[in-house]
Structure 1
Amino acid sequence: MESEDLTKIPCCQTLLSLFGISLAQHLKETSLFQLPNLPTSISCLQNFQSKLSSLSLSPNLVSYCFDPLQFVISPNICANIQSTSDWVSKLGKSTVLDSACRPDLSDLSSCGGCVDAGFAIQKMLLAADGP
């Protein structure tokens, strides 16, 4: 039996988006894209689950949707980018994301432009990763 891709389950994808906001705050505070180690990741996910449980959501949602290792820094992550300085050295100080993505994406054309910019950056990162 094939394992199910949990990111395709709408609830898990929504939770990943919400947790992504926390990771963005972590990036802002530390310049690191991911968490420093497994205990930190486990602690953050337990805290996230606690907040979800306080909303009367299932007490095992986080453990069902996430592997704590997926949020830990490792050298084999995308194009070996672990920090903002790595990002700048690989992609430069400014990318198409800076011009295409704005805080208010309620206008669908703005949202589409931001998504297109994201795919352009993804293509650049895949090229940087090599074969």
Structure 2
Amino acid sequence: MKQLCILILLSLFHLSVGVSRFHDCDVYGPDDPNPYLSPKPGYDGKICIQDLTEGVFYCKYWKCQTPPCPREQQLRGSAYNKCPYCEGTCSNGGVIYEAGTSFLCADGANTCRCGKNGSVGSTYMMTNKYSLCRAPLVG
């Protein structure tokens, strides 16, 4: 019984400690819940990458910016981007952009462009934990 109590306490301690941080990202190890399946309370969206060498996920979370148009005129994004936006704008990483503008994508590595219909086009460079998490490059 004593061993069971210790095991329960250690499990609760692990849950209360949570995931670790790497600059702007949460880091999920092999024993943590899968970040793709677990929403983070208080946040509207996320982007995650898996580092196969380290065996961990790096996830950056955001809250959606409030669109400037009335609620009944707001449009919804895709399954990937659930943030609302207005006609003539788009949303990426929780930020609203005007149609026709280019900006740094939420992954921190690619250039995105806001389309007229709310779509977001992107270059296809690979991202990594340094760009995603806005970590300074050391070297």
- TM bucket, shorter chain: under 0.3
Higher helix proportion:
1
TM-score of the two chains, using structure 2 as the length reference: 0.22
Q: Which of 1 and 2 has greater Rg?
A: 2
**Greater relative contact order (Cα < 8 A, sep 6+):** 1
